[in-house]
Amino acid sequence: MKASWRTILLWALPALVIGFFLWQGSFAPTPATVGKNTASTRMTYGRFLEYLDADRVKSVDLYDGGRTAIVEAVDPELDNRLQRLRVDLPGNAPELVTRLRSSGISLDSHPARNDGAVWGLLGNLVFPVLLLGGLFFLFRRSNNVPGGPGQAMSFGKSRARFQMEAKTGVMFDDVAGIEEAKEELQEVVTFLKKPERFTAVGARIPKGVLLVGPPGTGKTLLAKAIAGEAGVPFFSISGSEFVEMFVGVGASRVRDLFKKAKENAPCIIFIDEIDAVGRQRGAGIGGGNDEREQTLNQLLTEMDGFEGNTGIIIIAATNRADVLDSALLRPGRFDRQVQVDVPDIKGRLEILNVHARDKKISDDVSLEVIARRTPGFSGADLANLLNEAAILTARRRKEAMTMLEIDAAIDRVVAGMEGTPLVDSKSKRLIAYHEIGHAVIGTLVKDHDPVQKVTLVPRGQAQGLTWFTPSEDQGLISRSQIMARIQGALGGRAAEQVIFGDAEITTGAGNDLQQVTGMARQMVTRYGMSDLGPLSLESQQGEVFLGGGWTNRSEYSEVIAARIDGQVREIVAHCYQEACRIMRENREVIDRLVDLLIEKETIDGDEFRQIMAEYTVVPEKERYVPQL
């Protein structure tokens, strides 16, 4: 309603002013049309003198100081009927009055009215008055809008969005997949509702809770759920809203925010993306006395300074806890750090159940199967997945989502939009051999993840894709598993070389080689899985803006660096030789699979393993069976 009233006023002001002046110009009285004495027919001054000489003039009324006259005269052309005529008199004819009196003509003079000056004064005043009144009305109504024009000079005021009763529409039942974090935060809600339960045993309310986790895991949603469950005043602000171009503005906004919070205690302050203002101090190149550090100092003082903030709980969210200042993370400011991780299969199933409430899903769709197929997906990814499937369902004019739409949505979320299918050519056959090479390695190497499907349908930048079903949430990966993944990534290049020769090797393995090099180097420098022994040789040097040094000095000698490079090449070469051996030993089944892939464009993982089993022994792989 506020926006509509301002819009109406902005349109009404110009229309009102224009209408006033049109009315003034149309209806303001003129000297010749005042009162009852009006005349619509004009007569020249010369003809008036002729009528006067012929004794046809009966009466004369003078207006406008003697410059205009209304004359009653007998017109012989109209059968001597009496007619009222208007005559413009010259300003320098004083003898006319004497002549009229000597002729015995009825003469009357009407003084000039000052209505024109009054209307002119009103016309000059009405526009400034309306303009000032409208601007005052706009500024007054915009005072309640954060960042509105009425607050143009209120730089130091907090821009936090405030709700006296936090009706966020989100409760703990709407947050799924992060049960450990919910249990930690449930105590905060209980403390706000029933503080006597904790104070009776000497416990004090935590001052701050820091939610740490990857993007899309539900940190902001958790804060809304806490506010909705507790039912206390809720202040919500982003860390970037503290920092401005003007020095001291951020610190002033922090003071103003905590002042308002003290007036409404007990309450919750939620600071989203706190890393925007809470980065490590002393990391700036030009010195530490900048606006951001002053804002952080003020925040530290307000959270745990000389004056306590009883009843104020600060909840902050970030996905970069490693860049935060150590003084901000200590107990007394943020007493708890709650890790909000990517959900496991049970959490993903709960999240899918929450987001599937308002969507039409076919009865043959199993959310458990979707949860198994989406390891590593966050809550935001799963919400986007079901939304993409719903859009695809509407595009295909179906009544409800099926597994076909969900499978297509998973492929789109992971790999990108589907492209135009390739035409049957040498390039398509080469890509088919490349993808079959990946799939054959993934099937015959015991420690590799099983193949889910192989496709020649382009997605994103990839002309073909081989999908694997990774084991669920492995916290630890063995050396044999890393070696198997390196062999699987080299399977496409090995197939190109064995089938087509060195001259026909393409650039299709560029991304694979980057992954291979990264995994092999981490085996040597981070995990100690090489002949160099159990040493961590990876440099831990920080970046300059995080307070690290200027130089990127290695922590080992050039001799060790050469040995690292040699170990990396040895690991990659060994895996590549094994991949080429597997390609040569299974040439017959590879050719059959390529022909089938070109024909069907997509081969399912079960069908792929069934064909492979007809030609060779497919090792049994351990399947992860989740406990739901």
Q: Name every residue whose Cβ is closer than 8 Å to that of residue 13 and which is 6 or more positions away in sequence.
A: 130, 131, 134
- CATH code, 363: 1.10.8.60
Task: Name the residue range of residue 143's domain.
Answer: 2-28+116-151
- Looking at the structure, tell me whether residues 375 and 480 fall in a common domain: no
**Cα–Cα distances in Å, from 607 out to 82, 438, 464, 596?**
116, 16, 18, 11
pLDDT score of 21? 55
Give the span between the Cα atoms of 548 and 441, in whole angstroms.
Answer: 43
In this structure, are 479 and 390 located in the same domain?
Answer: no
What percentage of the chain carries pLDDT values higher than 90?
15
Stretch (H or E) spanning 379:
helix 379-395
167-171, 220-224, 288-292, 381-385: the lowest-pLDDT one: 288-292
pLDDT above 70 covers what percent of the chain?
A: 76
Give a yes or no: residue 216 inside a domain: yes
pLDDT at residue 496 is higher than 70: yes
Task: Give the residue, 61 or 528, on which the prediction is more confident.
Answer: 528
The tally of domains found in the chain comes to 5
- What angle separates helix 510-525 from helix 558-585, to the nearest 10 degrees? 130
Give the catalytic positions in this structure.
435
Task: Name, in order, each residue with C-beta under 8 angstroms of 8's C-beta and a sequence gap of 6 or more.
Answer: none
Q: Is residue 134 located within the same domain as residue 62?
A: no
The average pLDDT across 256-270 equals 83
Residue with tokens 């090797």: 505
CB atoms within 10 A of CB 238: 17
Mean pLDDT on 511-530: 92
pLDDT for 440-455, tens place per residue?
999 999 888 888 889 8
Q: Is position 264 within any domain? A: yes
* Residue 155, pLDDT score: 47
**DSSP conformational letter for 551:** -
Domain match, 370 and 355 both? yes
Domain-embedded: residue 245: yes
SS3 readout for 473-537: CCCCCCHHHHHHHHHHHHHHHHHHHHHHCHHHCCHHHHHHHHHHHHHHHHHHHCCCCCCCCCCCC
Instruction: Please give the average per-residue pLDDT across 345-360, as a whole number.
Output: 87
Coil, helix or strand for 80? coil
Within a domain: 276: yes
Q: Across the chain, how many H-helices and E-strands are there?
A: 20, 14
Residue 420 lies in a domain: no
- The reported pLDDT for the residue numbered 307 is 61
CB burial readout 71-89, b (16+ within 10 A) else e: bbbbeeeeeeeebbbbbeb
pLDDT at 6 over 70: no
Most confident stretch, 153-157, 176-180, 331-335? 331-335
The answer to whether residues 277 and 385 belong to one domain is no
Do 290 and 382 share a domain, yes or no?
A: no
Return the pLDDT at 487: 93
Closest to 593 measured CA to CA, from 614, 621, 567: 614
CATH of the domain at 499: 1.20.58.760
pLDDT of residue 497: 92
pLDDT at residue 28 above 60?
no
Average pLDDT, whole number, for the chain?
A: 77
Mean pLDDT calculated for residue range 301-310: 69
| 105-119, 176-190, 296-310, 325-339: segment of lowest average pLDDT | 105-119
pLDDT of residue 551: 45
Retrieve residue 385's tokens.
């997945």
Q: What is the pLDDT of residue 241?
A: 76
Do both 453 and 600 map to the same domain? yes
**Given this model, what pLDDT does residue 15 score?**
60
Same domain, 42 and 172: no
Instruction: State which of 324, 339, 354 marks the end of a domain.
Output: 339
Does the residue 619 lie in any domain?
A: no
- pLDDT of residue 549 exceeding 60: no
- pLDDT 10s digits, 360-384: 888 888 888 888 888 888 888 898 9
User: Do 463 and 422 contact (CB within 8 A), yes or no?
Assistant: yes
**Residue 548 located in a structural domain:** no
Residues 218 and 70 in one domain: no
Report the CATH number that the domain containing residue 55 is assigned in CATH: 3.30.720.210
pTM of the model: 0.65
Residue 574: the pLDDT is 94
Chosen domain end from 415, 441, 470: 415
272 and 350 both lie in a single domain: no
Do 394 and 430 belong to one domain? no
pLDDT of residue 521: 93
| pLDDT mean over 1-6 | 49
pLDDT band for 246, please (50, 70, 90 cuts).
low
Task: Tell me if 549 is assigned to some domain.
Answer: no
132 & 243 share domain: no
